[in-house]
Every structure is written in C-alpha cells, then in structure tokens.
Amino acid sequence: MKTTNLFFVTVLFAVTYCLLPAVFVTLSAVEGFSQGTGINATGAAPNSSALLDVDAAGMNPKKGVLVPRMNTTERDAIASPALGLLIYNTDCNVFQSWDGTIWEDLINDNYSHFANDTSFYYTGSIRSWTVPANTCWIKIKVWGGGGGCNNSHNHSLNGNGGGGGYVEAFVKVFPGDVLSIYVGMGGQGGVITAWGYGTSGMGGAGSGGHAGSGSSGGGGSAVLLNANVILVAGGGGGGGGASGGYYPVIGGGAGGAGGGIGGAGNGDNADGTGGIGGGNVLNIDGGNGGGAAFPGDGGSGGGGGGYWGGTGGTSGMAPNGVIGNCGSGGGGGVSYCANSNISCNLIPGQKVITAGAAVINPGNSTDPDLCAGCGFGGNYLTVPQAGGNGFIKIYY
C-alpha cells in the first residue's frame, strides 16, 4: 500500500485538466488497481478495504469532498449513467444516485426537516398549489369529512355519523408540479349531499311525523399530483334516521367509518342492512340512502365519498309491536395511497353504534395538526346536524 502526500496530490490535480488521460495512466501504474490510495495530512496508510481513503485528520481548517453539482436538466443529460453514479441536485438540494432505473434521493424515509407548511380548509371548490423551487419531497396529511347526523324527530336516537378517514405519505415532487386539493365537506342531516372528491350520498327521507331522515355521508378529501390521484381520505358514512314509532322507538344505524377498506353502517338492534364501503371501483361518489318505504320508517344514511364511495344504507323489517323501521347507516368511503408514495399510513375513522352525544373521532384524531372539529362524525348535538369538514396539510 502507498500513501500519497499532499504535495503530490496538489500537483496531480493541477495538471488534471490538461493531462487527464495521462493522469489515469500514472495512477494505474504507480498505485495499481489492487492497492488503496490514501489522501491525508498525517502520512497514515489507507484503510485496507478502501480503494480511496480520504482523511481530514490533522487538517486545520478541515475540508470535505465535493461531488459534481448540477440541476435536474443537466443531470438528465448524462448519457448512460453508471450504476451508483453520485451527484448533488441543486434543484432539490439533495444527493442523488443512479440505481439503474431512476435517480434516487439519498434521504431517510422518515425525513421530516421541512421548513414550511400550508393548510387547506373546506371551501367547496378545488384548490391548487404549485411546488416551489428547491423542493423535491413533501409530506401530506389528509382527513376526510365526517358523516352527518339528523337532529330532527327522535333526534337522540338518530344514528351517529362515521368519523372521516386519514391518510399521510411522503411524496416525490419536482419544482413546478401542480397539486389539486379537494377538502371534503362534513356530512349533513337530511336529504342533501356533501361536496368532496367523491361527493357523498344523500340521506334518505323519513316518513311520518316522528320518523327521522337519514343523513349524508362526509365528502372525501384528496390530493392529485399533475392530475393523477395520489392520496384520498374517505368520508364517514351518514347516520340512519330513527323510526317513527311511539313505543318503542328504534334508533337509526350508525354511519360507517371512513377510510381503510370502507366501513359498513348498521342498524341498531340488527334492524336494517348497512351500506358497505367501496362497493364499486368506478364509483367515487357515495351511494344515496334508501328513503322510507312505509309510514313511520326512518330514512337511511348516505355513503361517504372517497376513492370508492360507500353504499347507502337500507331499511329493515321492524320488530313485532314496533311501528316503523329504523334507517341503517351508510358505508364509509375508501381511502387510497398511490404506490409511488413512501411511508403511506392509512387510519380509518371511528364508528359509534350507540346513538347519543358520543364523540366520533376521525382517523389520527390526536394529531396536533388536526383543526378543531375537523373530520368528526356528527351526533344529535352537533349544529347544524353536521359532521366535521375535512382538512389537508402539506409540509415542504
């Protein structure tokens, strides 16, 4: 083994631009490819496992190794890059290596040193956000809208809405990319839909003076990258309406939880059949809840919107001695995370079967970034009978 002194290294690099071919011949002849080369200020031998060992020990001030720096356009102009070729991308401020197929950023999947963030609340329209300069990775958190609950007629027994789903991921982007932002609306009480990526199904109308109408599911929230869907958080299913019987009254079914594989709604006391999340791959809207078939029937909840919409609930047969059927809850919408993202995390919302003043949480409800009231399923105390709107936050 042989250690190259600093004087020789200085001379060698000085003639590199004029005599580059000759330099390679000289190194090959003097050092040999089977021997390591050390560059240091102490004269220490190079590590036996290294072809090149650069050591800053004993140097004052210290110095580093500078790899080729270039922007993305210049990088892409490299013809037939060798496997493992290393560059520093000045557009993204990150080291990149060629893996034989693509340029990979040399960062940890849990990279979280983002200097900026921006939040998106429900507005009822599509928003857009352009990736700024020097940004090649972003982190996105998405909550779907919570399902609604109707507070009219036997309101304390109308079914709760389901909590909205949650999804997050690190997303590879380039400066100038455009994100389309859909923030889902919270589900509403009664015969109305909730806007979002995948509009929710509307609740079915009740029949009779004391029969509760079903509620709409929550709208799905989504992020599209250059018009391609990359993240969707499903909306919670809408709660079913209580029956209109005077004795005893049967409570409406709870809306299904948004997210995951799609929650199913249900009817209390096994009355009614709940909607199933994600019943149709082509249907990003939630299905409508069934209307009352007979006097005294409660309306069923609408399905939540999402990548696939949840189906609407249906009515069942009333038990003996009960006037009217309760409406079942709508199914929750389905969440989605594209395979191109890394560290995908999908958390379904909550479903609370027992009607009342319970808190119905969205997925990842303890996250400090979640805005107050966002994504929660509606109960009979919420005003105006609504589930919480969705929410989206981007770190960059």
Residue 343 CA to residue 170 CA, distance in Å, equals 6
* 3-class DSSP assignment, residue 370: coil
What is the domain partition of the chain in residue ranges? 1-64, 66-106, 109-396
Angle between helices 16-30 and 6-14 (to 10 degrees): 130
pTM of the shown model:
0.74
Distance of CA 67 to the CA centre of its chain: 35
CB-side exposure of 136: number of CA atoms within 13 Å?
17
**Does the pLDDT of residue 88 top 90, yes or no?**
yes
**Does the pLDDT of residue 64 top 60, yes or no?**
yes
**Does the pLDDT of residue 312 top 60, yes or no?**
yes
Q: What is the DSSP letter of 327?
A: B
317-350 residue pLDDT tens? 555 445 555 677 888 888 999 987 778 899 988 8
* 3-class DSSP assignment, residue 395: strand
Residue 165 CA to residue 142 CA, distance in Å, equals 8
Q: What is the DSSP letter of 137?
A: E
Task: With beta carbons less than 8 A apart as the criterion, state whether 335 and 346 touch.
Answer: yes
For domain 66-106, which architecture applies?
Answer: Ribbon (2.10)
Tell me how many degrees the CA angle 23-82-65 measures, rounded to the nearest 5: 55
Pairing of strands 117-121, 127-130: unpaired
Distance of CA 80 to the CA centre of its chain: 35
Q: Which distant-in-sequence residues (6+ apart) come within 8 Å of 11 by Cβ?
A: none
Rounded mean pLDDT of 274-302?
59
**Does the pLDDT of residue 179 top 90, yes or no?**
yes
- Two tokens at 355? 């009607």
**Does the pLDDT of residue 309 top 60, yes or no?**
yes
